[in-house]
Structure formats: structure tokens, C-alpha cells
Structure 1
Amino acid sequence: MQNHGPETYGELNADVYDAWHAELDPTEAVRSLAALIEEGPAGPVLELAVGTGRVTIPLAATGVDLRGIDASEAMVARMRAKPGGERIPVTIGDMADVDPGGTDRFAMVFVVFSTFFFLLTQEEQVRCFGNVARRLLPGGRFVLECPMPDVGRYRRNQNLEVHRVDLDRVRLTAVRHDPVAQRFDGHHVLIGNDGIRLAPASMRYAWPSELDLMARLAGLERRYRWGGWGREPFTAEGGHISVYEKPAAS
């Protein structure tokens, strides 16, 4: 998808993002992240791609010293308009750089809701892992919430799916799959009485074994892999939570 940058999705969708994902309850994610923070070294925590603050704000409310990075000023503006969101320091920038300003090292860096895969090349994803490792304290963790790639749903490398049908609107997704680049390029399509709205999104998926290799190249070791925030066993169904740790001797 031409001219799709790190900020594209957020800048075009900030006004509808919370409504489209209203069913997502952050409670279990916040509880699990807080428990991981308690296990690790003392220090600030950094979230990559804070978005509208769905997880950011309730986690910061637990007393965590939380900082953030996001490429979209529009998404961050939505977060700052919410109670508590204005108090969280956020840097506008590419999450692959892992550069919130300053020289702080972090007890944990995390990215939720598949957003890591908005980094659209293997090179960018490897760079992100390397930059995270450099900013982690010894014993610190990198936590990712990931989908399992579901390439079987794509017939002739394309898919059209109906998500919702109401009296006055229909929501669809239309996606093309590039198996060589491991990339999905698509649109959320909202058709209503007031017209048609397109919301482009692109992702570069990676298998769990590839993430493990990226971590190893960065000097990180896998500590946990769960099937969800409740620490249930990981299977091929659904997604996974992968937790990588910087060795204490680093």
C-alpha cells in the first residue's frame, strides 16, 4: 500500500478507534502487566504505540511510572483528552526507534494488541528488538501481545469479511496477502447512510519462532509464552503473549 507510514493508521482512524474496539476490556492485560512489573527490576516502564490509552491509562493509574511512544499525534490527542491521560509523558515518533528522549533505561517495554506488526519489514522489527534490548535494565522484560498468523483464510491471497450488519450500516474488511513479504494490506470499510468510509491498515506478521530469533539476535531470552493475559497455555489457536528478558549479567 503506497504512502502508508507509521502514523497512517492512527491519523486516519483516531476518531473511531475507541468505538470500533469498545468490546476490548483492558482489565486482564493491566493485571498481568502489573504482575510482570512486580517480578522485574525497579524502574520506569515504556509502552510502544500507546494509541488512545486503552491500556496506558489504567496501568498508569496503578502507580506505574509509565512513559509512551506513538507515531500518531491524533491518537495521542485522544488519550490526553481522557481523565489521567494528560499526565502520561508521550513522545511522538517511530516505535522502532524506542527513543522516548533522555537516557532512562526501563524495567519493562511492552506493546499490546498486535501493534508491533505495524512495523512493516523484518528489518524494522529486528531494529525494534535491538533498540528495546539497549534500553532495558538487566532483568528487564519486553512484552508483546501477538496474533497467530491465519494465512489459511486467504483464498488466492485475498479475503473479504463481514464484521457487522446493522439497519443503517455495514462494516467489512478487504485484505490482500503477500506471502513473500509476510504482509497484509487492507481496508476496514464502513458503508452507511452517510456514505462510505475507508480505514487503511497494513501489517507484517511474524511467526513465534521468528520472534524468538529476533529476540536472540538482540541478546534477549524468552521467559514466558502464554495463550493470553490469564497465563493460559499457548496453542496454535488464537494469539499469544510473549515475554523476553534481558539477562541480569547484561
Structure 2
Amino acid sequence: MSGPMNPGAYGDALADVYDFMYPHHETADTVSFLGSLVPEGGRVVEFGPGTGRVALPLAQEGFSVHGIEASARMIEKLRERDPESTVKAVQGDFSEHLIDGNFDLCYIVCNTLFMILDSEQQIETLRNAAAHLVPGGRVVIEAAEPSYFHQLTKPTLQTRHLAPDKLMLDTIMVDSVNQMLYEVHAVIGSGSVSTFTEASRYAWPNELDLMARLAGLTKVDRFADWDRSPLRPGAERYITVYRKAD
């Protein structure tokens, strides 16, 4: 079940409901965290900016923000929100696509790195992130802490209330041997039902550190949240800051 997937398929399928799936209540903390790692007016690149939830506020803070996004539908939504193109987004596969110029920061949020389904390609993505950076530049990865999912032995159901008239049912299945997670998203609303199967290949924090080291990056910090709270057992995610060698 873990064959290759079109990199833009997730965004193309869910662009219309993506902003409901990931509400903006923590965006200010995310932007503050990322902005603290960059000099005033510095250059940043996001791998998978989606509709611009993080990229747009960073641009409004005065940073030069670029993005590599696989989904044409996501780029359409971003340009609707950003008609002046303050975020310079290009369509491409961020595991291999390069933008000219050096950046102070590359960030990958919302578990996007794990949507690459092969560990070697995840390493190549981290290597590509490092290739965009000035010496001493930072890479920030936000990823799901996999302990809860890893112990699942049968499918489980979660519900998201997207809007007063829209509901998402997520059926979650795990292949713990191969560290693969599958979510069947069913969006119900306005008299219609649409489905999309999302696949992700999760990694443990120490495993991610090893992959980053192979890509030429060194861990600087790790937190459980954008408020810099320490990572402890039971955390739902982990946020790691890596540094490119001088």
C-alpha cells in the first residue's frame, strides 16, 4: 500500500478545506518562533507553504519569503490570499527543486516532511534544505511524535468539525513495521461526500537527527511546541531546529 504518490495530490484534493483542518490560532506563535531565528529582513524558504498560513504573516513581518509547493490548487489559494505575491511561491517537488539564492532559514511545518514516503528521499529533502542555506543557516522541522500512532493495532476513527455545515472523518491505519500511517479523509457537507487517502512515513526524533546529520545538519534545539516547552513523553509533536555547518 506504500507505493509512490503524486507530490501534489494531497494539496489538490484538500485545498478547499485545508484552512479549516489547520486553524490559525497558533500561527502567531509559529511566526514569532521562526522570525526569532532570522536577521531583520532576512530570507526564508518554506517547503510546502500551502495556502500561506505561515508564509504570509512572515512576509508581513518584513522577511523575504519564498516557497516550493507541489500542489497547483494550493498555489491558486495562496495567490487568492496574496494577490501582490509578497510570498514568492513556485510549483515543484521540494525534495529536489532548488531556488536560486541563499536563505537564512528553511522550514517544513505541519508534518509535511513525513508525507515523503521513503527514508532516503526524506534525507534528500533535508539535504536540499541545507543546500538552500547560508553557512550557519537554520532548518526547522515540525513533525508528529509517533508514539500514539505506532502502537495502534487496528483502524481508529477521529472527527474534525471543519465548519457548521462541514465534517471530516479520518480513518487511521498504521503499518508499524514500515512506519507508515494512512488516513482516509472523508469530507461530508453540503449534500456531498469526498474522500482522499493520505500516506505518511513517520520517524522518531533520534532517527530524524540521524537523517539530518547525513544531510549536513546538526541539531541545535528541540521543543514540544512553538512556545519552546520541553519535549516530554505524551507530546503530540516535536519541533527541531538544525544548523548548517559554517
Counterpart Cα distance in 1 of 2:49 and 2:231? 25
Counterpart Cα distance in 1 of 2:21 and 2:166? 13
1:170-249 equivalence runs, <5 A: 170-192=167-189, 194-236=191-233, 237-248=235-246
Change in CA separation of 1:24 and 1:96 when aligned onto 2, cut-off 3 Å: farther
Counterpart Cα distance in 1 of 2:170 and 2:163? 16
| Contact 2:212/2:218 (8 A) holds in 1 | yes
Counterpart Cα distance in 2 of 1:125 and 1:7? 16
Counterpart Cα distance in 1 of 2:74 and 2:215? 29
1:1-250 equivalence runs, <5 A: 1=1, 4-22=5-23, 24-38=25-39, 43-83=42-82, 86-100=85-99, 102=100, 104-149=101-146, 150-151=148-149, 154-156=152-154, 158-164=155-161, 170-192=167-189, 194-236=191-233, 237-248=235-246
What's the offset of the Cα at 1:86?
2.3
What's the offset of the Cα at 1:17?
1.1
| Contact 2:17/2:162 (8 A) holds in 1 | no
Percent identity of equivalent pairs: 34
What's the offset of the Cα at 1:3?
6.5
Counterpart Cα distance in 1 of 2:242 and 2:21? 30
Counterpart Cα distance in 1 of 2:138 and 2:163? 43
| Contact 2:209/2:219 (8 A) holds in 1 | yes
What's the offset of the Cα at 1:136?
1.4
SS at match of 1:37: coil
**Structure 1 alignment gaps of length 5 or more:** none
Counterpart Cα distance in 2 of 1:208 and 1:146? 9
| Contact 1:228/1:239 (8 A) holds in 2 | yes
Q: Name the aligned partner's letter for residue 210 of structure 2.
A: L
SS at match of 1:5: coil
Change in CA separation of 1:217 and 1:152 when aligned onto 2, cut-off 3 Å: closer
Moved more, 177-186 or 62-71: 177-186
Q: Name the aligned partner's letter for residue 235 of structure 1.
A: R
Q: Name the aligned partner's letter for residue 61 of structure 1.
A: Q
- How high is the TM-score relative to the length of structure 1? 0.89
SS at match of 1:163: strand
Counterpart Cα distance in 1 of 2:82 and 2:5? 31
Q: Name the aligned partner's letter for residue 98 of structure 2.
A: D
What's the offset of the Cα at 1:79?
0.7
Q: How many matched pairs?
A: 243
SS at match of 1:113: coil
Counterpart Cα distance in 1 of 2:162 and 2:25? 19
Q: Name the aligned partner's letter for residue 178 of structure 1.
A: D
Change in CA separation of 1:155 and 1:53 when aligned onto 2, cut-off 3 Å: same
What's the offset of the Cα at 1:227?
1.2
What's the offset of the Cα at 1:153?
5.6
What's the offset of the Cα at 1:89?
1.3
Counterpart Cα distance in 2 of 1:50 and 1:235? 28
Q: Name the aligned partner's letter for residue 26 of structure 1.
A: T
What's the offset of the Cα at 1:99?
1.3
